[in-house]
Amino acid sequence: MSGSILITGASQVLTLRGGPRRGNSLSNLGIVKDGAVLVRDGKIVAVGPRAQVDRRAEAKSAEKFDVGGRVVLPGFVDSHTHLIHAASRAEEYELKIQGASYEEIARKGGGVLNSVKKLRAATEQALKQRAASALGEFAAHGTTTLEAKSGYGLDVASELKILTLHKELNTEQPLEIVSTFLGAHVVPAEFRGKADGAEKYLDLLMEKLLPEVVVRDLAEYCDVFCDRGAFTVRQSRKLLAKAKDHGLAPRLHAEQLSRTGATQLAVDLGAASCDHLEHVNDSDIRSLAKSKTVATLLPGCDFHLGLKEYAPARKLIEAGAIVALATDYNPGTSPTMSMPMVLSLACDQLRMTPAEAIAAATINGAAALGREKTIGSLAEGKQADLAAFEVEDYREIPYYFGMNLCWMTMKRGEIVCMKD
Ligand SMILES: [Zn+2]
């Protein structure tokens, strides 16, 4: 065996060639009909029409892998997940269906604080097992890289426990995990009920936790849930500026429950992304469009909460913002590991076209994680991260909803999972 793999027999190869997409270019998938991909040492050596790739000497000696007329595309880059948590919140799901709002549930000790209580009580082994099984599901649905946030620990030991698990899982299973420190998810119970509770908690984050995260090299990004009932713009700015001094790049949960001005803060700080954006206004959209901050939309969250108001994807795209899509996998508001389902929601609810949704879930997701040079498209020199779907036309990926048509997922040239 030469060590090279030649992937052939694809009805379409979606290369997504070129950098992150804005505006009209978001629908450019760089489609090659009857395409082939040549892979060596985990990287793409050549990609293009089969006849062209076949002419290379290396292609002749390569191990052949025929995908039987399926569609091949870059593995999904899921740039927003809360991977590590101890349990589902199915009981709250039922309450929500019966009419309780997210904030009412939170006031009764439910919501994020409910997950915090369960996580603090859970063993590392149990958390790891749950996350590993979730990672298997992500891979089975075509995801090859995901971001993972802490934020269900909210004390020094528990936050470090989560971030350490990110690091361990990143090396112990095939998917790539990008770690984000979200100590500022909400103010934990023990700091509530005092006038300066939030400030005291922020001091703990900045003085005790942040330096430890940096010394142990446990995160690449720092995130803040900047919204009603969580942290203010002023508090978020203070923490993210401090994190930036420590070398952690900022990202933000912005304008989900209300408009706070978090989007403008994200742009001012040069954040990698600001995520949710259900309540952005026209000036926020203009700011995003002029910036490199990625606008990450999480329609799974609005769908699961049964909300009518989704983020204004069309306005963001038309203004020229870099729009990405992610699952927001978490136990309270978006319990899914399925990027294909997110694509269906993006098409049906955000009125994105199938092509726009796929670009938002691949190359633009990679841009949200600062990895657009290594993943997110199929091009020479990039990681061989790809997925093959059981369809003949890429539009069928979002068209079929609530089912998994991913046939094979490959990470760095290795098959991670494949249907029989
Ligand atoms: Zn989130």
pLDDT digits (tens, 9 = 90+) for 274-333: 999 999 999 999 999 999 999 999 999 999 999 999 999 999 999 999 999 999 999 999
DSSP code at position 75: P
- Quote the Cα angle for 260-106-79, to 5°: 60
The predicted pLDDT at position 288 comes to 98
* Ligand 1 center to 272 CA (angstroms): 15
* Ligand 1 center to 253 CA (angstroms): 6
* Ligand 1 center to 406 CA (angstroms): 25
* Ligand 1 center to 252 CA (angstroms): 9
* Ligand 1 center to 223 CA (angstroms): 9
> Taking 90 as the threshold, does the pLDDT of residue 106 lie above it?
no
pLDDT digits (tens, 9 = 90+) for 175-186: 999 999 999 999
Instruction: Place 194 in a pLDDT band, splitting at 50, 70 and 90.
Output: confident
* Ligand 1 center to 229 CA (angstroms): 14
* Ligand 1 center to 43 CA (angstroms): 31
Tell me the C-alpha distance between 371 and 78, whole Å: 12
Mean pLDDT value of segment 10-15: 98
Q: Please give the biggest Cα pair distance in the chain.
A: 71
* Ligand 1 center to 335 CA (angstroms): 11
* Ligand 1 center to 301 CA (angstroms): 9
* Ligand 1 center to 356 CA (angstroms): 22
> Taking 60 as the threshold, does the pLDDT of residue 2 lie above it?
no
> Taking 90 as the threshold, does the pLDDT of residue 41 lie above it?
yes
> Taking 70 as the threshold, does the pLDDT of residue 1 lie above it?
no
* Ligand 1 center to 337 CA (angstroms): 13
* Ligand 1 center to 44 CA (angstroms): 32
Consecutive H or E run containing 320? none
Q: Are 21 and 28 within 8 A, CB to CB?
A: yes
* Ligand 1 center to 171 CA (angstroms): 24
Near ion ligand 1, which residues have CB within 5 Å? 328
Three-class secondary structure assignment of 126-174? HHHHHHHHHHHHHHHCCEEEEEEECCCCCCHHHHHHHHHHHHHHHHHCC
Residue indicated by tokens 């998938």: 29
The predicted pLDDT at position 185 comes to 97
Mean pLDDT value of segment 188-203: 93
pLDDT digits (tens, 9 = 90+) for 228-247: 989 999 999 999 999 999 99
Residue 49: both structure tokens together:
């029409």
Instruction: Report the sign of the C-alpha dihedral through residues 27, 30, 34, 35, in that order.
Output: negative
The predicted pLDDT at position 105 comes to 86
User: What is this structure's pTM?
Assistant: 0.97
> CA gyration radius for the chain?
21
* Ligand 1 center to 182 CA (angstroms): 9
* Ligand 1 center to 40 CA (angstroms): 36
* Ligand 1 center to 262 CA (angstroms): 14
pLDDT digits (tens, 9 = 90+) for 128-137: 999 999 999 9
Q: What is the mean pLDDT of the chain?
A: 96
Tell me the C-alpha distance between 286 and 264, whole Å: 10
